[in-house]
């Protein structure tokens, strides 16, 4: 009987080399490397481009943070309010602020605490972007005549939420605060209603309590 030669295929050495196997390159090496690169990017992003905090009257006593609302309450007690008018231009924004006092104080020319009613020579304005502190602006507006204050500032006209505050120097160190989406033409500043007397008294809830009797 003739010998039948059996042909056996030679092993493909190229297929057995691990770094030439696309499954190994994609799933064993590629995906973990991609995850590491993405994690490093987000770590860098969170450190270098972190959200800024909004400024306010906070102070620290020991390890406890407290918010000082005395200036807000003084504005409420004095009854001051105002309107800010913004004229948007290419490079600058013109600010006009009209400071108003209660009618009875204007006629008496003094406040309720017998302090003479006067208009400060200048007012401080703080405009804070909700997330980007590079767009925050601090400036002063100057008293022109009557109750009118004017000033100029360079503001970003990209629509965004801002926190605004106007404050007076001492001795009447009051503050008016407001939050608005800018750009906007008119912003009304009113004292905080949380200091109203009727809000300080808790309503009677006795008739809403469940009865103890079955």
Please state, in angstroms and rounded to a whole number, the distance separating the CA atoms of residues 150 and 165: 15
Closest CA to 109 of 118, 98, 100: 118
- 118 confidence band (pLDDT: 50, 70, 90): confident
Per-residue pLDDT at 92? 94
pLDDT of 60 over the 60 cut: no
What share of the chain in percent tops pLDDT 70? 74
Under 8 Å between Cβ of 175 and 75:
yes
Read off the tokens for 114.
């017998």
Per-domain residue ranges of the chain: 20-46, 80-189
Under 8 Å between Cβ of 200 and 193:
no
- 214 confidence band (pLDDT: 50, 70, 90): very low
Residue 146 φ/ψ region, left for φ over 0, alpha for ψ in the -120 to 50 degree band, beta for the rest? left
> Quick one: average pLDDT of 129-149?
94
Say whether 214 sits in a helix, a strand or coil: coil
In the CATH scheme, what architecture does the domain 80-189 have?
Sandwich (2.60)
Task: Give the side-chain half-sphere CA count within 13 A for 84.
Answer: 29
């Amino acid at each position: 009987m003739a010998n039948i030669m059996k042909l056996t295929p030679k092993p493909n050495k190229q297929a057995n080399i691990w770094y030439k196997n696309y499954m190994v390159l994609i799933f064993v090496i590629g995906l973990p490397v991609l995850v590491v690169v993405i994690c490093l990017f987000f770590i860098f992003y969170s450190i270098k481009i972190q959200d800024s905090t909004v400024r306010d009257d906070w102070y620290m006593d020991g390890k406890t943070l407290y918010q000082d609302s005395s200036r807000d309450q003084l504005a409420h007690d004095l009854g001051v309010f105002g309107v800010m008018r913004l004229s948007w231009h290419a490079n600058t924004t013109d600010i006009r602020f009209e400071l108003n006092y209660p009618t009875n104080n204007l006629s008496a020319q003094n406040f309720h605490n017998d302090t003479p009613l006067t208009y400060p020579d200048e007012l401080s304005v703080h405009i804070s972007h909700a997330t980007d502190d590079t767009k925050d602006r601090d400036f002063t507006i100057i008293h022109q005549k009557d109750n009118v204050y004017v000033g100029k500032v360079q503001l970003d006209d990209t629509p965004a939420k801002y926190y605004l505050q106007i404050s007076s120097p001492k001795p009447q160190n009051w503050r008016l605060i407001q939050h608005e989406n800018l750009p906007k033409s008119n912003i009304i500043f009113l004292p905080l209603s949380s200091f109203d007397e009727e809000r300080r008294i808790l309503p009677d809830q006795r008739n809403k309590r469940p009865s103890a009797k079955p």
